[in-house]
């Protein structure tokens, strides 16, 4: 705590949309920030891949940019730490080379394999009851039957790419891969390994691989990496990496975390039950809790995180900002014979203004935001997005407003299960992520969910701030409580009482649409996975 105040951390936030890198001071100020997008390749049968080299190239470009932009002496940048998208799977060989594209958290090609793997008798919610009990007792959760986590990804590689599987030295999550490229060391954190469902998480100070869970996984034990804590110093920057981005050789690398762990730290929501809402490509409601617990039916679990004495409740939804990206890229500015596809400057600010002009309730137009299925409060890969009640009276402005409201209504669908899990109402949510920059959307969430919304001062930089905090804690230069006290807010949004009745009505219609349409989606899109 006595170190000089002018030290800095190179903090990396590698999300689905791309890599954001920031230079963060010990006081929690973001001095420079850069972003480079990364492409996702969508494939038949619900495949979704990214190229690990694209992550690395985006990191190098953005890291060089922020280091050069600030002109801060390399010796004052005392650590590097990553926050990344979770539930990805990269097979690497003994030299650390990726053997194929990464299967991202959107990839569901292993769904049939994991469903078969988890099946048995007696059966509960699609699982063998005894396997389920073991997963819940030891891990605090169970493999996602939609196939979106490493447990299914690794089985898919084993069965569908046996050549790759035979050459695989380690299976790594996205965070683990970045740390390998930074330090040359294959490790996994307690949160990055979680959704492989092979660790005993009952003691936060002694998380370990369980031989029985590994045997159940169908993957050889030696293909899993060494376990470390999020705040452990795992090594030094490789000399070539340090030289490439302009840092001092020997700069420490702290293990870091996946995005939901870092977001909870960056949002300053450390107290038990204090919740945040992350709005990125996907979304989640998160809150720290004192005990490990799981609600199988709604897909909500409290799992290991960065805090040494708490678990993190995570209620994840698949589609949030991806809906606005779809609206922008596929409808508003799609390049074809009708238009050039050129986006105007500050496009999302313009979309905000369009949405703000339309009255709450979008003139009866309802948007269902399930572009790639859903995982909570129902786990159904077959659900799809759509506009309901579209008429000649509607316009492009109405559609934009309906997209904003549809994501908020979907989050309200998750609200009651989260409140039951926490044993208390959500009186307030801290909003972060790219979607959290929108004042219009923040007010819509406040109105739809009837909760106060606190907008962070820099919502898009929360994960990077979380990563910087993990680094400073790991290096002994800060503690979590002090970091949380420094959290800065831009605005506070209270529910507008006059909007309550219309959103209550829209929500009732939204949930009825799910009940009526779900059987049709299952028939059209290959059944459900419950």
- b/e per residue, 165-185, with b = 16+ CB within 10 A? beebbbbbbbbbbbbbbbbeb
Q: Flag whether pLDDT at 529 surpasses 60.
A: no
Mean pLDDT of 135-155: 92
Inter-CA distances, 203 with 290, 296, 457, Å: 12, 21, 35
| pTM score | 0.90
Confidence (pLDDT) at 528: 44
Mean pLDDT of 120-127: 85
Confidence (pLDDT) at 527: 59
Helix (H) or strand (E) holding 129: helix 129-138
Please give the Cα distance from 431 to 268 (Å, whole number). Answer: 11
Q: CA nearest 456: which of 310, 264, 302, 324?
A: 264
| DSSP bridge partners of 287 | 275, 313
CB 89 within 8 A of CB 157: yes
Average pLDDT of the chain to the nearest whole number:
93
> Minimum mean pLDDT among 184-198, 229-243, 370-384, 498-512: which range?
370-384
Which three-class secondary structure state does DSSP give residue 105? coil
Sign of CA dihedral 43, 46, 51, 54: positive
Which three-class secondary structure state does DSSP give residue 222? helix
Please give the Cα distance from 425 to 409 (Å, whole number). Answer: 17
39-64 residue pLDDT tens: 999 998 889 999 999 999 999 999 99
Inter-CA distances, 122 with 128, 131, 132, Å: 6, 10, 11
Q: How confident is the model at residue 331 (pLDDT cuts 50, 70, 90)?
A: confident
Q: Flag whether pLDDT at 324 surpasses 70.
A: yes
CB 111 within 8 A of CB 189: no
Pairing of strands 170-172, 90-92: antiparallel
Q: Flag whether pLDDT at 89 surpasses 60.
A: yes
Inter-CA distances, 78 with 4, 6, 230, 233, 250, Å: 12, 10, 17, 12, 9
Mean pLDDT of 301-322: 92
Please give the Cα distance from 135 to 308 (Å, whole number). Answer: 22
Cis peptide before 377 (omega within 30 of 0): yes
Mean pLDDT of 317-329: 90
Please give the Cα distance from 414 to 432 (Å, whole number). Answer: 17
Confidence (pLDDT) at 210: 97
Mean pLDDT of 450-462: 94
Please give the Cα distance from 304 to 322 (Å, whole number). Answer: 27
């Amino acid at each position: 705590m006595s170190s000089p105040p002018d030290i800095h951390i190179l903090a990396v936030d590698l999300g689905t949309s791309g890599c954001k890198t920031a230079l963060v001071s010990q006081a929690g100020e973001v001095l420079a920030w850069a972003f480079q997008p990364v492409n996702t390749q969508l494939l038949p049968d619900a495949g979704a891949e990214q190229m690990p080299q694209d992550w690395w190239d985006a990191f190098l470009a953005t890291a060089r940019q922020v280091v050069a932009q600030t002109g801060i002496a390399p010796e004052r940048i005392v650590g590097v730490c990553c926050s990344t998208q979770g539930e990805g799977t990269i097979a690497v060989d003994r030299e650390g080379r990726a053997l194929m594209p990464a299967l991202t958290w959107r990839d569901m090609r292993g769904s049939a394999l994991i469903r078969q793997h988890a099946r048995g008798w007696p059966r509960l919610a699609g699982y063998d009851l005894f396997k389920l009990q073991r997963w819940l007792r030891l891990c605090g959760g169970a493999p996602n039957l939609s196939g979106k986590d490493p447990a299914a990804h690794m089985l898919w590689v084993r069965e569908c790419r046996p050549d790759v599987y035979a050459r695989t030295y380690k299976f790594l999550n996205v965070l683990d891969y970045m740390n390998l490229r930074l330090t040359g060391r294959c490790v996994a954190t307690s949160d990055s390994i979680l959704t492989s469902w092979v660790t005993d998480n009952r003691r936060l100070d002694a998380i370990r691989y369980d031989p029985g869970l590994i045997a159940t996984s169908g993957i050889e034990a030696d293909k899993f990496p060494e376990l470390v804590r999020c705040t452990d110093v795992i090594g030094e920057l490789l000399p070539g990496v340090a030289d490439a981005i302009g840092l001092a050789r020997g700069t420490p690398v702290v293990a870091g975390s996946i995005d939901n762990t870092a977001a909870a730290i960056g949002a300053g929501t450390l107290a038990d039950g204090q919740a945040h809402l992350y709005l990125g490509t996907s979304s989640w409601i998160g809150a720290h809790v004192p005990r490990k617990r799981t609600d199988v039916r709604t897909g909500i679990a409290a799992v290991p995180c960065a805090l040494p004495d708490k678990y993190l409740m995570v209620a994840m939804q698949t589609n949030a900002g991806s809906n606005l990206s779809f609206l922008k890229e596929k409808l508003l500015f799609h390049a074809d014979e009708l238009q050039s596809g050129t986006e105007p400057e500050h496009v999302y600010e313009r979309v905000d203004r369009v949405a703000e002009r339309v009255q709450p309730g979008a003139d009866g137009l309802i948007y269902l935001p399930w572009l790639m299925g859903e995982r909570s409060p129902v786990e159904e890969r077959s659900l799809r997005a759509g506009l309901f009640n579209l008429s000649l009276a509607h316009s492009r402005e109405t559609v934009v407003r309906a997209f904003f409201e549809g994501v908020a209504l979907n989050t309200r669908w998750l609200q009651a299960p989260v409140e039951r899990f926490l044993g208390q109402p959500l009186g307030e949510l801290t909003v972060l992520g790219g979607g959290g920059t929108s004042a219009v959307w923040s007010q819509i969430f406040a109105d739809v969910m009837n909760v106060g919304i606190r907008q962070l001062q820099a919502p898009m930089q929360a994960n990077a701030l979380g990563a910087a905090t993990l680094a400073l804690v790991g290096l002994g230069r800060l503690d979590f409580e002090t970091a949380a006290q420094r959290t800065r807010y831009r605005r506070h949004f209270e529910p507008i009482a006059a909007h309550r009745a219309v959103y209550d009505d829209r929500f009732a219609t939204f949930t009825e649409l799910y009940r009526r349409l779900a059987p049709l989606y299952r028939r059209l899109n290959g059944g459900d996975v419950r």
